[in-house]
Amino acid sequence: MNILAFYNLIVLTMIRVLGLSLSIEFFINQRKKRFIAPIAGWSCWVITGFIAIIADNIPPGVGSEILFILNAILGAEGLVLIVMGILSYFRFVPGRIMFIISLVYLIFPLIFYSLFGDVLALSLAMTLNFATYVVISLLVIYKGKEIHQTIRGGVKWVYITLITVFIYILVSFILIFSVEDYTYGLYYSSDNFAIMSNYLVGILLTILIIVILIHLERGIADEGKTQLKDRYSHDIGNILQIIVTAASVIEMKGELDDLDKPNLNLIQAKCNEAGELIKEIREL
């Protein structure tokens, strides 16, 4: 394996480990099903890095060939699972369809490998990879309003990621047709510039995916806090209104002695203070 490709692969794998750790932390803290797909996706991506290293350290043959096929298949599978995790925030696609799609990404390349060999299997895995990026980009553009409402201040990172996806696909096609010794991952290429171009864009795209996931969780958390804030301030306001109304009714009856009047005034004053606090809470 080219030493430059090896070090870039290590860096990319470590960043993927970070994404996996983050998804696991989200799942532990919140126990939400939407984190299962990203955890599986990041796991597939981490495994691909180790598979490439293992395949490089065994003699060439059927064993190493199968490992490199698995490397490409798990790379595409990892991407689609992470994308499904992102889509689950917006419920673009039903869960059953997501499950079927993930099976297709896993099974079809294996069928192609058994029927047509490694070249077509690798080509199919790469095609699925590119298709996933294209589909998610189109969905983001089509559902821009919903995404903006959810992610709010982080929406700029979504558009930066879309630009990076375009650059990634463009660079990948340029490398495929221009690098003479091109192979999946450029593990054995002698073109150092091609290796750096490929991995730098891939690393940047992986980091941006992590950033988007963080902003999605922050947007969901902020929306939840806003809903709770509105709910409780509204409920407390209703209770205070009943207390104020009851105090006003008692005062109108005029049956208060000199000891009760200060207490009634105190109730009204504290209700006014509570009303001001509710206004401050709503403005937070």
pLDDT-based confidence at residue 255 (cuts at 50, 70, 90): low
Give me the count of residues in the chain: 284
Tell me the residue range of the domain where 236 lies: 227-283
Residue 65: predicted pLDDT: 75
Which residues are CB-contacts of 124 (< 8 A; sequence separation ≥ 6)?
108, 109, 112
Residues 146 and 256 in one domain: no
Residue 43: predicted pLDDT: 92
Name the residue among 29, 20, 25 with its Cα closest to residue 47.
20
Residue ending a domain, among 221, 244, 269, is 221
Residue 50: predicted pLDDT: 87
Chain mean pLDDT for the chain: 78
Task: Read off the pTM.
Answer: 0.73
Residues 11 and 83 in one domain: yes
CATH number at 108 reads: 1.20.1070
Residues 9 and 91 in one domain: yes
Question: How many beta carbons lie within 10 A of that of residue 128, not counting itself?
Answer: 21
- 67, with CB counted inside 10 A (0-12, 13-18, 19+), is middle
Distance between CA 5 and CA 190 in Å, rounded?
A: 10
Residues 64 and 108 in one domain: yes
Residues 105 and 245 in one domain: no
Residues 30 and 51 in one domain: yes
Asked whether residue 4 carries a pLDDT value surpassing 70, the answer given is: yes
Q: Provide the domain count of the chain.
A: 2
CA 124-127-128 angle, to 5 degrees, is: 90
Residues 163 and 263 in one domain: no
Asked whether residue 14 carries a pLDDT value surpassing 90, the answer given is: yes
Find the range with the poorest average confidence among 53-67, 68-82, 200-214.
53-67
Residues 144 and 182 in one domain: yes
Residue ending a domain, among 221, 241, 257, is 221
Residues 121 and 236 in one domain: no
Distance between CA 137 and CA 153 in Å, rounded?
A: 19
Residue 156: predicted pLDDT: 81
Residue ending a domain, among 221, 248, 275, is 221
Asked whether residue 101 carries a pLDDT value surpassing 70, the answer given is: yes
Residues 72 and 49 in one domain: yes
Residues 105 and 240 in one domain: no
Residues 210 and 236 in one domain: no
- 267, with CB counted inside 10 A (0-12, 13-18, 19+), is middle
